Every structure is written in structure tokens, then in C-alpha cells.
Chain A
């Protein structure tokens, strides 16, 4: 023992060079250059968007802007903000409808005994690949027959289009939770609701968050369905409105760019908000041995 007591707290390091991992290699250079080139393809349009949105005489070309705020003022006129609010309403309703229904379905698919579970799940996966546009005519007929050509029923339909994929996303998340956790909670006399709210939902949160973002973006970017299913112009969402910028004789590139930036803000904010739940992913560590 006594020999240890007099030793220094930090031991003497060896005098040779520490081991270094080689940073540069041909493969790394090649792969990073390729990625940079691909990245540029995505970056240039973004650059154009920001430049054009503050340019007095924006065109389709990328150039140094003559600074102005006129484009934003145009894009913020009540008509256009109204369209943004409509988009928000549409997407929020669609997200809530789809995510709640998808969670309940996914939980049942994951935990309950359901006859023909495999084929049903395959069908759902197949449905998530079917473009909803092919059903637009019959849906239009139905909706116009019952007088539903307005924003709320359209929001529900948009939610339904996201349902199959959301079920899949959430089911995978629920599958990853060991059944033991729920059993342990059962034994502790927790009610089904308590088990869902305090154990299953928190642990499924990364899956639910990705599903919710998918549902939101799916509705946010939809153009054809609102265009066909919403009869009143005042209830039309952003993308349909944006179409209006381009329909005029000369396209107002600056206004389109400004509106596009405003229009993408909610999605960016949503990602930032949800990123916490994504980071909470892999929370299952330490649950079972």
C-alpha cells in the first residue's frame, strides 16, 4: 500500500509519439468530394431562394441581389397569410388524426393477437406506396355528394393518406419495447391507460415523432387534394396559393421565393421542436439484460 501513496496523481506518459490514426486517405478524399458535389446540387437552389427573396428584380438566375423587403411585404399580405394559416390548420388536423389513429393501430398490431396479421401488414405496407391521387375522382364524387368540399374533411383525408406509413413507423417502435416492461407494470397494478401513458408512449416517442413529422409534411406539401377537395378559395392552403404567383403573365420570382421561405418556416420549427424526441432515441438501454 505504502508504495502507492507517494506516487504522482497523473502518471508519467511514455516519451514516444502517441498513436495517431491517419486522417487522409484516397478513399476519404474521393468520397468527400463526391458528397460535396452532390451537396452543391441541393445548396444552390437554396442559395437562389434566399437571394431572390430579397432581390428587387429577381429572375430565375442566381445573382447578387439589389436588397429590398418588398417581396416579403407582398408575401405577407392578408390573402397569403390566410393561406399559411389554412395550411397550418390543415396539417395540424391531419397530423393529429393520423398519429393518434396510427399509434392505436400500431400498438394493437404489435401486441394483440390478430388473425392474418402478416397479410394485413403487407397490405398496409403496399397501401403506403399507392399515390392517393389515383383515388381523387371517386373521393371528389363522394365528398361533393355529402357536401364535404371544405377544409376539415380534407384535412382528415390528408391524415388518412399518411396512415399506412405512420402505422409502420410506430409499429416498429412499439415492437422494440420488451413485453416484460408492460408485464412488470401490470403486476404493479397499473391500469392499461397508465401503462400506455407512462411506459409505452414515452418509449415510442422517437417513432411517434418521426411519424408525426411525416404526417405534417405530407399534408403541408399537398397540392392536388386541397385543390380538388376544397371549393372555397379562402380555405385554400399555401401551395395552391403559391400557384397563383406563377399563373400571372410574368412570374414574380421574388415573391415566390419570399413566400416559399415563409412557407417552409413551420416545418423547420417543427423539426427543431421534435429533435429532442429524436435525441431521446435509443432510450431502451438498460431495460432488460
Chain B
């Protein structure tokens, strides 16, 4: 049980700034998920928290105790390495019991604990194999089991399920979430999987090039992305970004986009009265409907030609060319739609997001609110 805070943390490798000025608070018992593109500094942040990497500037606190220079062994943290880092000369059983043994925990129930964890991660029957005799997914589960056998102050899980099949992943997701809830251990979880991030995290931190762009609950992150990057990164397929012209007309914002003109209530979407005339408009494929299968609140139409379709079974994502701009829309799977056909799309202006073209920041959410959500 522990709270964590990063205060002005930098990490510079030689001349490469991997993490510029990171501020983050993680509450006691919280399950926080780090997402972001490859190479954006998630592992580096985790390693700094684990004590394997020393920050170049700033300080890290666990439970108000400054641990910036505390060696990893004294932080009471369990970690799953992205690379697994299994001990290759030891059997699965010894890999799992190595930690309790070196920590001189009682040997009497050690066997029980090993069996229990092996069952939890689905390794029963493999306990006497060496890591080289396991498949990739089995190795990953050994790495996970080695962390879960502990009851540390903090769990750091670096893509712990990335190598498992879909079924096992769903199962392990539930197991981890359940264990975390039961133990109440503060957990930092890195993943590239949207579903994992959205379903497991109390809050999600979106990283880009070493910066945290937004920390928020999954629902808030999806509904109110603080900027264009978060909007396009969260949700799959990503949000459509379209150029638009904006003019203020009393209580309304008048928008010209892809040949259609419509208006939205200004106070709902824009915080400042000083609006740029060119903006970027974001709309999720989920909010762009096929006319024949649209909720009645969708009043605005756009038309285009189908360029490509991509079906997942339950739904079909259709790439539509509207005035030379391609937008992705979600169609029901029964929609009989072919490449080259005309498509008629409708949407509700209330589902739109507006971003400032240069900075990419949203025009809807106040920066102050983002900070508040971070729990400062």
C-alpha cells in the first residue's frame, strides 16, 4: 500500500532526453495504466520508480518518503520485466521461489504459495521445466507469477500479457484485476492493448515522447480527450481528424466542414471567447453513422464514396472519401456496402471534438480541469 509521486522528474540518456519534466501522482491502492506509442518512455518511467534507473533531475516519493536514491531492494516493489528476465538455469518452481527464499520468508508454506501462484497464472504441470523448455506465453506467465507471489507495496507490470492468446489474456486480465482489488496494492500497468487499458485501469496516463498528455479515467479519456494525440490514440480505429472553419455567432459556434455547415452551442464546446477561425474537428468512427442505422439525434449529413472496408465480424469500418478527405465510419456488419458505392453518413454535432490546429489542445476542456483530474 503506497502512494507515489513524481516531481519534476527528468531522464536524460547521454544527450537524449527520454523523459522531460514528469509530474504524476498515483494514489494509494490505485490501478494506473500507462499507454503510449513504442519508445515514449513508459518502461523508463517504471524503471525509475523501481530504482533501476536514477532520474537525472527531480524526485520520486513513495508514501511521502523520498526514494529517489533508494536502491531497488529497499523499495519493496515487485516488477514484471518487459523482457521477462527469467533465471534460465532454474526450474519454473525455483524461479517462483527464488524471491521468497532470498527474502528469508517462512519455508513452511512456500510450496503452497508456489502452487497457488502457478495455478493462478496457469502453469500447473510445468513447474519442473526450465525456461528454455517453455513457449513464449508460458515464459511470460512465469515472469508474471514471480511478481504475483509477493505482496509488495507496489506492482509494476510492464506489458505482462502481451504474448498471450486472446482467451488467456482476457482470463489473466480478470485475475490480475481481481488480485489487485483484493490486495489493494498500488499498481502501475503498461500496455499497448486498448481493451486492457480501458477495462483494467482506474486511471490511464497517455504518454507521448516522454510527456504525459493526460491522466484520467477511461471514460473521461474517451469522451473528453485533452488533445488531438489522446483523441486519436485512445479508441480503435482512431478518431477522424478533419479541417474545419469556425465562426462565433452569438451563443452558437458556426462550423464549416466537408461542404456542410452546422452549428453547436458555444458554451458547451469552447471555453474561451477568443476562438481561432481554423480548427481541427475530431469525430470517432463510432459517432459517424450509416443513415439507415442512425440514432434520431443525428441530423447532420455528409456524403462520400466508399474507398475501403474492414470487417471485424460484429461491425464493419468503412473508409469514406468525402471531398478528398478520408473518414472512417462504423457500419453494422449487415450493411451491404461495396467499394466505389456512394455512402450517406450522419452524425450528431454534440459528439464532436474541437482541437486547436497548432498545439492540438482541445477547445472544450479547460487545462485547469486536467490538472484537477491528475489529483494534484
Chain B residues lying within 8 Å of A178, measured Cβ to Cβ, are 83, 85
| Assembly CA distance A95 to B227 (angstroms) | 66
From B79, B146, B163, A289 is in contact (CB under 8 Å) with B163
Residue contact B86 to A286, C-beta cutoff 8 Å: yes
| Assembly CA distance A191 to B89 (angstroms) | 19
Which of A180, A187, A284 has most chain B Cβ within 10 Å? A187
In B46-71, the 8 Å CB interface with A consists of: 50-52, 71
In B70-102, the 8 Å CB interface with A consists of: 71-74, 76-79, 81, 83-89, 98-99, 102
Residue contact A184 to B89, C-beta cutoff 8 Å: no
Residue tally, chain B, CB below 8 Å to A: 33
From B52, B87, B102, A181 is in contact (CB under 8 Å) with B87
How many contacting A-B pairs (Cβ < 8 A)? 93
Q: Does A194 contact B (CB under 8 A)?
A: yes
CB distance from A245 to the nearest CB of B (A): 46
Residue contact B85 to A189, C-beta cutoff 8 Å: no
Residue contact A288 to B103, C-beta cutoff 8 Å: no
Q: Does A203 contact B (CB under 8 A)?
A: yes
| Assembly CA distance A280 to B50 (angstroms) | 32
CB distance from B276 to the nearest CB of A (A): 47
Given A187-B50, A194-B102, the answer on whether A289 and B83 have CB atoms closer than 8 Å is yes
Q: Does A202 contact B (CB under 8 A)?
A: yes
- Report the nearest A residue to B95, measured CB to CB: A184
| Assembly CA distance A189 to B50 (angstroms) | 12
From A186, A280, A287, B52 is in contact (CB under 8 Å) with A186
Q: Does A17 contact B (CB under 8 A)?
A: no
Residue contact A188 to B103, C-beta cutoff 8 Å: yes
Q: Does A217 contact B (CB under 8 A)?
A: no
Q: Does B203 contact A (CB under 8 A)?
A: no
Cβ contacts A250-289/B at 8 Å (1 or 0 each): 0000000000000000000000000000001001111111
| Assembly CA distance A18 to B163 (angstroms) | 38
Residue contact B87 to A190, C-beta cutoff 8 Å: no
Binds A, one of B125-133, B194-202, B342-350: B125-133
Q: Does A79 contact B (CB under 8 A)?
A: no
Chain B residues lying within 8 Å of A286, measured Cβ to Cβ, are 86, 88, 130-134, 139
Size class of the A contact interface (CB-based, 8 Å): 20 to 34
CB distance from A24 to the nearest CB of B (A): 36
CB distance from B5 to the nearest CB of A (A): 20
CB distance from A185 to the nearest CB of B (A): 7
Q: Does A137 contact B (CB under 8 A)?
A: no
Chain B residues lying within 8 Å of A189, measured Cβ to Cβ, are 73-74, 76, 99, 102-103
Residue contact B72 to A187, C-beta cutoff 8 Å: yes
Residue contact A186 to B71, C-beta cutoff 8 Å: yes
| Assembly CA distance A185 to B52 (angstroms) | 11
Q: Does B340 contact A (CB under 8 A)?
A: no
Given A178-B85, A190-B73, the answer on whether A285 and B102 have CB atoms closer than 8 Å is no
Residues of B within 8 A of A (CB): 50-52, 71-74, 76-79, 81, 83-89, 98-99, 102-103, 130-134, 136, 139-140, 146, 163
A-B contact pairs, 20 of them (CB 8 A): A183-B72, A186-B51, A186-B73, A187-B79, A188-B102, A188-B103, A189-B76, A189-B102, A190-B102, A199-B87, A203-B89, A286-B88, A286-B131, A286-B134, A287-B131, A288-B81, A288-B84, A288-B86, A289-B84, A289-B140
Residues of A within 8 A of B (CB): 178, 180-181, 183-191, 194, 198-199, 202-203, 280, 283-289
Extra pairs beyond A189-B99, A198-B102 (20, CB < 8 Å): A180-B83, A180-B84, A181-B86, A184-B81, A184-B85, A185-B102, A186-B52, A187-B50, A187-B73, A189-B74, A189-B103, A190-B102, A199-B87, A203-B89, A283-B88, A286-B86, A286-B132, A288-B83, A288-B84, A289-B139
